[in-house]
Structure 1
Amino acid sequence: MIKQQVDREQVPFWFDPLCPWAWVTSRWLLEVEQVRPVHADWRLMSLAHLNLVQRKGEGLSEEYRGLMEKAWGPVRVCAAAAEHASRSVLGQLYTAIGTRCHNQRRRDDPTVITEALAEVGLPDALAAAGSSEEFDQLIRDSHDEAFNEVGLDVGTPVLRIGGTALFGPVIRQAPRGEAAGRLWDGLVLVAGTEGFFELKRSRDRSVKPCFD
């Protein structure tokens, strides 16, 4: 296992805390940290901003539009937390929120945010940011850093490897141990290929992310 933090590559990873696919990929990246000299640099993007503002809500079902409206809350709280305690708190807070929303399947539970804030030692008053636009510019700035490079026809997760931002990997279940490292190695090769743009296969919509 990789134990030392010295000379680790910082890997920017843009996430929306409500996205289950980004959650699986984020757990994979934590596995990669254990077997390769990398360190996740957690950053915010907003599915609500992407779908409702940048894409102007085109093609969204009423159900998904409603989900996007709800998606503002958690990412706004994350932005408020980063402003309050520095961006270094995002990894812990993302884990606290994501464990409850995804692993425990409590996405519609209003106590998730306050519980997560308490777990990482942040004031519960930050939960009020979920219904405020105060930190939206911070979200947009972070979001645009990724999407100005990868484009608006993708979603989350986005990560940057060696100066190249990529959408994905979109995986159903996080590989563990050396299997996680091998997937990382493949992405490093792809990201280092001059002129590379896309590698994709259609996803069966019946396939759901696995959080176990």
Structure 2
Amino acid sequence: MQHDEEQSRVEVPFWFDPLCPWAWVTSRWLLEVEKVRPVRADWRIMSLAYLNLVQREGNGLSDDYRALMESAWGPVRVCAAAAEHAGPQVLGPLYTAIGTRLHNRRRRDDPTVIPEALAETNLPAALAEAATSTDFDPLIIASHHEAFDEVGLDVGTPVVRIAGTVLFGPVLRKAPRGEAAGKLWDGLALVAATDGFFELKRTRDSKPIFE
């Protein structure tokens, strides 16, 4: 019976860049949704560096943000290398291992984050070398385009596909838990299934909360 339930779960593609704190919060919400609704996250990679430095040609970026985007290549390249090595199913555990260190533990400038995350997910330490290599960029770019060719270039991450519609968001200050997470999912599924729906938005007035 449990196997049948797992088979009937709806796959929810979720595109993330490990560096983005907002995507991290949303990803933790989706894991909560898995507990209360018949869905399963399908983790996929996108690249804030590619989006901002290549597709948007770096327009309007401050020097500090440009430097941040240059550094953003590293973690997502490691994720791509890991998926190529062990299959896409490794992306969820690796994202959790990296994101917990980068966001919850606030170790953004710690060079040991990637080696520790690889060790935690039983991946070869040598995959860390991908951070400074362009070998896996075609894989990143292909996955990125799966989302952004549909959702457009005036958004970032997180990006999800719900009810066949690719949407930016939901952008959350804090991940809802339990049934609250499920109710948010229900609302998004309803909105996503509405023909012609484009956007709901308000200005962010606080920083994300990691739990």
TM normalised by structure 2 equals: 0.97
The reply on whether 1:97 has 2:78 as its aligned counterpart is no
Structure 2: runs of 5+ lacking an equivalent? none
- Aligned partner of 2:52 in structure 1 is 51
The reply on whether 1:71 has 2:109 as its aligned counterpart is no
- Structure 2 counterpart SS, 1:160: strand
CA deviations on 1:110-157 (whole Å, 9 max, x unpaired) are: 000000000000000000000000000000000000000000000000
> What is the correspondence of 1:1-212 to structure 2 with a 5 Å cutoff?
4-204=5-205, 207-212=206-211
Q: Offset of 1:32 from its aligned partner? A: 0.1
Aligned length: 209
Q: Offset of 1:202 from its aligned partner? A: 1.5
What amino acid is aligned across from residue 120 of structure 2 in structure 1?
E
- For residues 163 and 183 of structure 1, the distance between their equivalents in structure 2, rounded to whole angstroms, comes to 17
- For residues 109 and 92 of structure 2, the distance between their equivalents in structure 1, rounded to whole angstroms, comes to 22
What amino acid is aligned across from residue 211 of structure 1 in structure 2?
F
What amino acid is aligned across from residue 192 of structure 1 in structure 2?
A
Structure 1: runs of 5+ lacking an equivalent? none
- Structure 1 counterpart SS, 2:7: coil
- Structure 1 counterpart SS, 2:150: helix
- For residues 35 and 156 of structure 2, the distance between their equivalents in structure 1, rounded to whole angstroms, comes to 26
TM normalised by structure 1 equals: 0.97
- Structure 1 counterpart SS, 2:174: coil
- For residues 132 and 54 of structure 1, the distance between their equivalents in structure 2, rounded to whole angstroms, comes to 20
- For residues 179 and 6 of structure 2, the distance between their equivalents in structure 1, rounded to whole angstroms, comes to 18
Identity of aligned residues (%): 76
Runs (4 or more) in structure 1 with deviation over 6 Å come to none
- For residues 14 and 160 of structure 1, the distance between their equivalents in structure 2, rounded to whole angstroms, comes to 9
Q: Offset of 1:162 from its aligned partner? A: 1.6
Alpha-carbon RMSD across the aligned residues, in angstroms, is 1.0
What amino acid is aligned across from residue 11 of structure 2 in structure 1?
Q
Q: Offset of 1:6 from its aligned partner? A: 2.6
- Structure 2 counterpart SS, 1:94: helix
What amino acid is aligned across from residue 25 of structure 2 in structure 1?
V
Q: Offset of 1:80 from its aligned partner? A: 0.2
Q: Offset of 1:5 from its aligned partner? A: 1.2
CA deviations on 1:90-121 (whole Å, 9 max, x unpaired) are: 00000000000000000110000000000000
